[in-house]
Structures are given as C-alpha cells and as structure tokens.
Amino acid sequence: MSLPRMQPSDGVAWITGASSGIGEAVALELARRGWTVAITARRLDLLENVARRAEGLPGRIVAHAGDVTDSAAMKEVVDGIESVQGPIALAFLNAGIAPASRGLLDMEAFERIIAVNLVGAARALSAVMDPMALRGRGQIALNASVAGYGGLPGASAYGVSKAAAIHLCESLKFTADQRGIRLQLVNPGWVTTPLTDAKDVPMPFAITPEQAALRIVDGLEKSGFEISFPRRLSWAMKALNLLPYPVYFWLVSRGARWSGARSL
C-alpha cells in the first residue's frame, strides 16, 4: 500500500521529548523546512527556549507542555494543538529517559524507564492516532534504539523498553496502513545528548543531535518503515542478533570486556 508522506501544507508536526537533544534538533530541522512544529515536554520554560531558537526560520515552533506518563494530559495536548494550530499531520514520538541503574535489577529505575519509554510512547501514539484515523491520513515516527535489537550488558531496563517499542511499532503498522497512517520506526545508535552525557561508556560512531536530526527528517521524507543510523553500527547489531545464542553471548561479553562498558 502506498501511503502519502505529509507536507507542511497538510497540517502541523508534533514532537514529544522536545526540550533538548534529538527532539529539539528535529523540531528545529522541521522548522527550517517550513513546518509549524508543536513541541511537548514537561517544562514549559525549556520548550519556550527551543521555540525562540526558531525565530527567523521558514517555519515556527510553538510550546504545548505535557507529560507522556499521563494519558489524560496526552489527549489534552493533542486536542489543544489541533484546536489552536490545526490538524497534526506528522508526529515524532521521542520522549525517553535512561537513568543509571544500581544492582543487578534496579526496580525503581526499571519502572520509571518502562513508564516513559514504552507506556508513555503508547499513550502518545494512542492520542495522536485516533484523530489521524478519523481523517484517514497522517504520519507517525516512534523513536526507539539499536539497543532494542538484542540484550546488551547493563541495558536490562533501557533495552527492554526499546525492544518493546520496536515490537509495538511493528505490530501497529498493519492497522495503521489500513487507516491511511504511515508509521515509521527510528532506531538511532549513540547520539551525544543530555541523556548520554552522564554515561561513562564507549560510544562508537557517536553523532551530534543535529546530525541525527538530518537523518531522521530525511528519513521521514524518503525512507521506508525503519530509519536506522549509523548503518555500520545498526547493520552490525542486526547481524549479531542472527547468530546462535552461544556465539552471540560470547561476542557481546568479549566486546563488553574489551570496551570496559558498564551500563547503557
């Protein structure tokens, strides 16, 4: 099925987790390409700082604060954007956290990560898919990670949340296609953001948020279901997960010892 790719003339773009990092960079890149971009995160002051950075660009950025862990708030944000700015044609669901974990399985960190990275993503998806389905058109990209391809040392919570987000996006694609919604999955490697600043681990092939934004927005305009980068990392990770478990565990353990990795 050939689904349309949304253009600025179709409506506005909506980005969650847009107060910094990848979300902020994608918002600015979309504004450079003429979009009106509604951005969401919990802190209105940070969102307004991002909006000011778009002054003078072909498009504009407007702040709509909200918390992805609150279903009612997500619906209110979507309703508010559509009543004031117009229909949401394009959504990039990017909100995510990666707090440090303590011990073998830190349940406090685990539950926080799942609440934001998985359940929060599902809440935002539900809120924006319903009006798109009524219109019979729209485009949504969900930000996951190459860490969701397979189990990695120190990533028991973050990796689980991203693996489940990948599965969620894959499963929903069938219904989204039938409703005229183009659903895409974004799987980045290491991107130097406030999320990674506190990580004391090697970050092979790391890129800046601005570089990531270019690849994501280009992918929204041209790519198929998955937008993954850098390819030399994502392809290696995919190939690794095709190996038998004994080989997979041996290679990953050896790589972790060589790099000194402790936590993602």
CATH code of 202's domain: 3.40.50.720
pLDDT digits (tens, 9 = 90+) for 177-223: 999 999 999 999 989 877 666 665 666 778 999 999 999 999 999 99
Element (H, E) at 184: strand 181-188
Residue 245 falls in the annotated catalytic set? no
Task: Using a pLDDT cut of 70, give the percent of the chain over it.
Answer: 93
72 falls within a domain: yes
Total domains present in the chain: 1
Which pLDDT score is estimated for 210? 97
Which pLDDT score is estimated for 264? 46
Which pLDDT score is estimated for 100? 80
On whether the CB atoms of residues 261 and 201 are closer than 8 A, the answer is yes
3 falls within a domain: no
pLDDT digits (tens, 9 = 90+) for 133-188: 999 999 999 999 999 999 998 888 999 999 999 999 999 999 999 999 999 999 99
Query: In Å, how far are 92, 118, 150 from 160, measured between CA atoms?
Result: 20, 9, 9
pLDDT digits (tens, 9 = 90+) for 67-121: 999 999 999 999 999 999 999 999 999 999 988 878 789 999 999 999 999 999 9
Task: Tell me the pTM.
Answer: 0.93
99 falls within a domain: yes
**How many Å apart are CA 153 and CA 249, to the nearest integer?**
10
- Catalytic member of 149, 158, 245, 248: 158
On whether the CB atoms of residues 29 and 214 are closer than 8 A, the answer is yes
113 falls within a domain: yes
Element (H, E) at 210: helix 209-222
1 falls within a domain: no
Q: Provide the residue range defining the domain that includes 102.
A: 8-259
264 falls within a domain: no
18 falls within a domain: yes
224 falls within a domain: yes
